Amino acid sequence: MASGATTPKLKGVPKDRRVAFKDLREWIAALEAEGQVARVTEQVDWKFEIGTILRRTWDIHGDASPAILFENIKDYQSPAINKLFAGTFRSWFRTAMMFGMDPRNTSRAEIIQMLKRRINDRSEHIPPRIVKTGPVKDNILLGDDINLEILPIPHWNQRDGGRLVGTFHTVITKDPQTGWVNCGTYRMMMMDCNTETGIQLDPASQHIGEHYYKQLEEDKPMEVAVVIGQEPALGFMSCIPTVDPLNEMEIAGAIRGEAIDVVPCETVDLHVPANAEIVLEGTIHPKERKMEGPCGEYPGYYGNIPGPKPVFRCKAITYRNDPIFRGTLEGHPINEDHMTLAIGHSVYAWDILERNSIKGIQDVAMPLDSCGYATCVVSVRPLVEGHAEIIASALWGSKATIWAYKYIIVVDEDIDPWNSEQVNWSIAWRVAPGEDIHIWKRHRGSRLDPRVPPEDKGFQDHMLIDATRPYHWAPREIWGTEGVGKGIPLKFPPSTRPASQICLDVNKKWDSYGIKPTKEYMGSPEGMMRHWWTDEEIQRVIDLKVMP
């Protein structure tokens, strides 16, 4: 998929070609074979420089940004732990690779559908496989030997309150009553003591919060394992929300087509991937708090002030020989986690709509430029008047509204919700502002919204833009499918979308015209309505399967 490409209409999920990457190292080797990794051998400072390098790479190279392996970190010379890997998922190409899909012939919509199927088809979930030992047990530190500063933990942003141990890790916890295991990613900042970190968790909206709340009721510490440097499927699944309380390790097994090998921890009753690079074991007491923050947040601002957070106390460190630390940078879009959250939240929103029996949904997109959180665009074939309001009510009634869905835009089925140009075109000419824009005041919302003053954190105004053609309009003969007074009367003026045999004939002869793009250009080399010109799409309009 080329940078800047539009998403063609979904034609079905490709045939499975699942790939079980054994560990992070095998994943890096596969990426290198595809030219997707940059190795930085120049010495870099863990304090600010690594973060600045990543920021410049993503800001300038965008979707063409490589993953980066830093191999020479200041203060961490060999044989110390001296490697850091970042940027796997700042790329649709690499995300498709992780799913076993052909990255050169895969659309964003197909990636969303693939993940949706992997999450919801529980018959394909593969539980982890317990083994006796693995590379993660090469080195075991206990008691007084524990020191988190042996890890090349970056201080990513200059305004961050400290070094972030956990940014693209997997935090494993277990329900004390049912045994349900959750794997998630929750920010962890080092504290003054080199055996403690803060942890960002929310009892109201996160699955770890459900485990945490039960421990709070029993006044008992919660056992935790923190996996750093896992194979890619578990890392991806740890970042995204699911509607149901599922074990993300089993979904990762479905993505891979093979179980993840796990070993028991040394000090807590949990299992961790045998081939992980690093594991931190410890506990979180639900009543203990220490000051933590601030950090650059996912909207791209420092929206939160320092505050009291739960404390993770490390009881053991296990790691491979010559381990690779895994992390990522948070901040303005587009980051690695924005990509994973955009994909994950799109599936989550789609699931919410389907579970509320809302019909006609064609596609759901959480645009990357709004960080995979703030804006949700839903493509729908309208079936009733007020269809857009039904969609908004379902999404705003879900627990994800605490973080996402500040803006909901509903478009017709002919609009690709991942294509911002098409969405803007739809807003410009299918919206009557006084009729189709609705604002709901002071909803529960993201406390990280920089536009909300500190005293009102946790509340937002929400907006729905109904950018669908007006459902209640009567058909008019002047808008005939074949011209004024000709063909089938339509409810809305027909567009200039190609829909004739002439268009199909031009497609057949296109190569003979000798028209080539210029070698130099500004902006995207691909047009806003590129997918309209496939034979299939032209025929769909001719057959009135899509309104002209």
Which fold would CATH assign to domain 337-467? Answer: UbiD C-terminal domain-like (3.40.1670)
pTM over 0.75: yes
pLDDT band at 414 (very low <50, low <70, confident <90, very high): very high
What are the two backbone dihedrals, phi and then psi, of residue 500, each rounded to the nearest 5 degrees? Answer: -160, 170
| Pairwise CA distance, residues 333 & 95, whole Å | 17
Mean per-residue pLDDT of the chain: 91
Q: Quick check: 440 pLDDT over 50?
A: yes
- E strand or H helix at 301: none
Position 126 scores a pLDDT of 97
Q: Which residues make Cβ contacts (< 8 Å) with residue 34, sequence separation at least 6? A: 93, 97, 103
| DSSP assignment string, 451-463 | TS-GGGTTEEEEE
Position 491 scores a pLDDT of 93
The pair of three-digit structure tokens given for residue 428, joined into one six-digit string: 């410009």
Least confident of 140-149, 273-282, 482-491: 482-491
Q: For 370-374, what is the mean pLDDT?
A: 89
- 297 as an active site residue: the answer is yes
> Are the C-beta atoms of residues 462 and 398 closer than 8 Å to each other?
no
Q: Quick check: 475 pLDDT over 80?
A: yes
How far does CA 545 lie from the centroid of its chain? 32
Q: Quick check: 516 pLDDT over 50?
A: yes
Position 303 scores a pLDDT of 73
Q: For 78-83, what is the mean pLDDT?
A: 91
C-alpha R_g of the chain: 25
pLDDT band at 15 (very low <50, low <70, confident <90, very high): low
pLDDT band at 125 (very low <50, low <70, confident <90, very high): very high
The pair of three-digit structure tokens given for residue 462, joined into one six-digit string: 């929400």
| Pairwise CA distance, residues 120 & 195, whole Å | 38
Secondary structure (H, E, C), 317-348: EEECCCCEEECCCCCCCCCHHHHHHHHHHHHH
Secondary structure (H, E, C), 202-239: CCCCCHHHHHHHHHHHHCCCEEEEEEECCCHHHHHHHH
Per-domain residue ranges for the chain?
121-322, 337-467, 490-542
- E strand or H helix at 420: helix 420-430
Q: Active site residue: 196, 297, 330, 537, which one?
A: 297
Which fold would CATH assign to domain 121-322? Answer: Pnp Oxidase; Chain A (2.30.110)
pLDDT band at 8 (very low <50, low <70, confident <90, very high): very low
Least confident of 77-91, 296-310, 466-480: 296-310
Position 16 scores a pLDDT of 62
Q: For 166-189, what is the mean pLDDT?
A: 95
Least confident of 25-34, 107-116, 301-310, 496-505: 301-310
Q: Quick check: 527 pLDDT over 90?
A: no
